Amino acid sequence: MNANLSLHVPQPPARPGEPADFSYLKLAPAGAAPRPLPTASIGETIDLAVSLIRVIDDEGQALGAWDPHLETVQLHKALRYMLVTRAMDDRVRRAQRGGQVSFYMQSMGEEAVSVAAAMALRPGDMLFPTYRNQGLHIARDRNPIDLMCQCLSNSHDMCKGRQMPVMYHWREGNIFSISGNLATQLPQAVGWAMASAIKREPHIACAWTGEGSTAEADFHHALTFASVYRAPVILNVVNNQWAISTFQGVAGGEHQTFAARGPGFGIPGLRVDGNDVLAVYAVTQWAAERARGGGGPTLIELVTYRAGPHSTSDDPSRYRPKDEWRAFPLGDPIVRLKNHLIWSGAWSAERHEALVKEIDNQIAETWKLAVSYGTLPESPLDPLTMFDDVFKERTPHLERQREQFMKLKG
Amino acid sequence: MNANLSLHVPQPPARPGEPADFSYLKLAPAGAAPRPLPTASIGETIDLAVSLIRVIDDEGQALGAWDPHLETVQLHKALRYMLVTRAMDDRVRRAQRGGQVSFYMQSMGEEAVSVAAAMALRPGDMLFPTYRNQGLHIARDRNPIDLMCQCLSNSHDMCKGRQMPVMYHWREGNIFSISGNLATQLPQAVGWAMASAIKREPHIACAWTGEGSTAEADFHHALTFASVYRAPVILNVVNNQWAISTFQGVAGGEHQTFAARGPGFGIPGLRVDGNDVLAVYAVTQWAAERARGGGGPTLIELVTYRAGPHSTSDDPSRYRPKDEWRAFPLGDPIVRLKNHLIWSGAWSAERHEALVKEIDNQIAETWKLAVSYGTLPESPLDPLTMFDDVFKERTPHLERQREQFMKLKG
Amino acid sequence: MPRMNMIQALNSAMDIAMQRDEGVIILGQDVGYFGGVFRCTDGLQKKYGEQRVIDTPIAEGGIIAAAIGMSVNGLRPVAEIQFADYIYPAYDQIVSELARLRYRSAGEFSAPITVRVPSGGGIRGGQTHSQSPEALFAHVCGVKVVMPSNPYDAKGLLTAAIEDDDPVIFFEPKRLYNGPFDADPDKPAVAWTAHSKGEVPAGHYTVPMGKAEIVRAGSAVTIITYGTLVHVVQAVVESTGIDAEIIDVRSIVPLDVETLATSVCKTGRCIVAHEATEFAGFGAELVATVQRECFWQLEAPIERVAGWDTPYPHAFEWEYFPGRKRIAAALEQVMAGT
Amino acid sequence: MPRMNMIQALNSAMDIAMQRDEGVIILGQDVGYFGGVFRCTDGLQKKYGEQRVIDTPIAEGGIIAAAIGMSVNGLRPVAEIQFADYIYPAYDQIVSELARLRYRSAGEFSAPITVRVPSGGGIRGGQTHSQSPEALFAHVCGVKVVMPSNPYDAKGLLTAAIEDDDPVIFFEPKRLYNGPFDADPDKPAVAWTAHSKGEVPAGHYTVPMGKAEIVRAGSAVTIITYGTLVHVVQAVVESTGIDAEIIDVRSIVPLDVETLATSVCKTGRCIVAHEATEFAGFGAELVATVQRECFWQLEAPIERVAGWDTPYPHAFEWEYFPGRKRIAAALEQVMAGT
Ligand SMILES: Cc1ncc(C[n+]2csc(CCOP(=O)(O)OP(=O)(O)O)c2C)c(N)n1
Ligand SMILES: Cc1ncc(C[n+]2csc(CCOP(=O)(O)OP(=O)(O)O)c2C)c(N)n1
Ligand SMILES: [Mg+2]
Ligand SMILES: [Mg+2]
Question: Domain map of chain C by residue range?
Answer: 3-199, 213-333
CA C195 to the chain's CA centroid: 19
Mean pLDDT score, D19-37 = 98
Residues 6+ apart with CB under 8 A from D48: D18
Q: Are C76 and C31 in contact (CB under 8 A)?
A: no
Give the helix ranges, DSSP H, for chain D: 6-20, 44-48, 60-72, 91-92, 101-104, 135-138, 151-163, 229-240, 257-267, 282-294, 317-320, 324-336
D29 lines ligand 2 (CB under 6 A): yes
Mean pLDDT score, B185-200 = 98
Tell me the angle at which helices A72-97 and A111-120 cross, rounded to the nearest 10 degrees: 140
pLDDT at B365 over 60: yes
CB-based burial label for C188 (10 Å; 0-12, 13-18, 19+)? exposed
**Least CB-CB distance to D57: which of B164, B215, B398?**
B215
Q: Is the alpha carbon torsion for D218, D221, D222, D228 positive or negative?
A: negative
The pick from D82, D117, D174 for probing ligand 2's pocket by mutation, whose C-beta has the most ligand atoms within 8 angstroms, reads D82
Mean pLDDT score, A311-324 = 96
Q: Are C194 and C110 in contact (CB under 8 A)?
A: no
Q: Nearest CA of chain D to the CA of A396: how many Å? A: 8
Output the pLDDT for position B3.
Answer: 59
Mean pLDDT score, D298-302 = 98
Mean pLDDT score, D287-292 = 98
Q: Hey, of A170, A177, A184, A402, which one would you mutate to test binding to chain D, going by the most D CBs within 10 A of its CB?
A: A177
pLDDT at A186 over 70: yes
Output the pLDDT for position C1.
Answer: 87
Contacts of D85 in chain B (CB under 8 A): 180-181
Taking only the tens place, the pLDDT of each residue in A208-225 is 999 999 999 999 999 999
Gap from CA of B240 to ligand 4 centroid (Å): 5
**Least CB-CB distance to A264: which of B1, B254, B261?**
B261
**Number of inter-chain CB pairs under 8 A, B vs C:** 141
D86 lines ligand 2 (CB under 6 A): yes
Output the pLDDT for position A5.
Answer: 75
Mean pLDDT score, C37-61 = 98
Q: Nearest CA of chain B to the CA of D319: how many Å? A: 7
B341 close contact with A: CB closer than 8 A: no
pLDDT band at B1 (very low <50, low <70, confident <90, very high): low
> B178: how many CB neighbours lie within 10 A of its CB?
25
Output the pLDDT for position B409.
Answer: 86
pLDDT at A354 over 60: yes
pLDDT at B2 over 70: no
pLDDT band at D1 (very low <50, low <70, confident <90, very high): confident
Output the pLDDT for position A2.
Answer: 58
Mean pLDDT score, A164-186 = 98
Whether residue D129 lies in the annotated active site: yes
The H or E element containing residue C215 is: strand C213-216
Contacts of A217 in chain C (CB under 8 A): 59, 61, 89
The residue among A251 and C338 whose pLDDT is bigger is A251
Contacts of A200 in chain B (CB under 8 A): 1-3, 5-6
The pick from A244, A311, A313 for probing ligand 1's pocket by mutation, whose C-beta has the most ligand atoms within 8 angstroms, reads A244
pLDDT at C32 over 80: yes
Output the pLDDT for position B410.
Answer: 77
Q: In which order are the strands placed within the sheet that holds C114-119?
A: C53-55, C24-28, C76-80, C114-119, C168-173, C144-146, C251-253
B210 lines ligand 2 (CB under 6 A): yes
- Please state, rounded to an integer, the average pLDDT across all residues of chain D: 97
Q: Hey, of C101, C279, C298, C309, which one would you mutate to test binding to chain D, going by the most D CBs within 10 A of its CB?
A: C279
Catalytic residue numbers of C read 129
| Angstrom distance (rounded) from CA B258 to CA D9 | 39
Residue nearest to atom 15 of ligand 1 (CA): A210
pLDDT at A1 over 80: no
Question: pLDDT exceeding 70 applies to what percent of chain D?
Answer: 100
Domain C3-199 = CATH 3.40.50.970: yes
C89 lines ligand 1 (CB under 6 A): yes
Q: Is the peptide bond before B187 cis (omega within 30 degrees of 0)?
A: no
Residue nearest to atom 23 of ligand 2 (CA): D58
pLDDT at D338 over 80: no
Class of domain D213-333: alpha beta
Output the pLDDT for position B5.
Answer: 75
3-state secondary structure (DSSP) of residue A255:
coil
pLDDT at D158 over 70: yes
Output the pLDDT for position B4.
Answer: 61
The H or E element containing residue C259 is: helix C257-267
D309 close contact with A: CB closer than 8 A: no
Q: b vs e for A302-341, b when ≥16 Cβ sit within 10 Å of the residue's Cβ?
A: bbbbbbbbbbbbbebeebbbeebbeebebbbbbebbbbbb
CA-nearest residue of chain D to C294? D301
Q: Is the peptide bond before A36 cis (omega within 30 degrees of 0)?
A: no
**Least CB-CB distance to D97: which of A162, A184, A190?**
A184
Mean pLDDT score, B344-359 = 98
Q: How many CA atoms lie within 13 A of A115 on its CB side?
A: 28
A242 lines ligand 1 (CB under 6 A): yes
A219 lines ligand 1 (CB under 6 A): no
pLDDT at A4 over 70: no
Output the pLDDT for position A410.
Answer: 77
pTM for the structure as a whole: 0.98
pLDDT band at C188 (very low <50, low <70, confident <90, very high): confident
- Please state, rounded to an integer, the average pLDDT across all residues of chain C: 97
Q: Nearest CA of chain C to the CA of B314: how many Å? A: 24
pLDDT at C338 over 80: no
pLDDT at C14 over 60: yes
Q: Which domains does chain A have, with CATH numbers?
A: 42-379 (3.40.50.970), 385-410 (no CATH)
pLDDT at C81 over 70: yes
- DSSP secondary structure string for all residues of B147-207: HHHHHHT-TT-TTTT-S-TT---BTTTTBPPPPSSTTTHHHHHHHHHHHHHHTT-S--EEE
Q: Torsion angle, CA of A323/A329/A333/A339, rounded to 10 degrees?
A: 110
Mean pLDDT score, D101-107 = 98
pLDDT band at A3 (very low <50, low <70, confident <90, very high): low
pLDDT at D163 over 70: yes
> C198: how many CB neighbours lie within 10 A of its CB?
23
Q: Are D13 and D151 in contact (CB under 8 A)?
A: no
Gap from CA of A285 to ligand 3 centroid (Å): 24
Taking only the tens place, the pLDDT of each residue in B251-288 is 999 999 999 999 999 999 999 999 999 999 999 999 99
CA-nearest residue of chain A to C318? A383
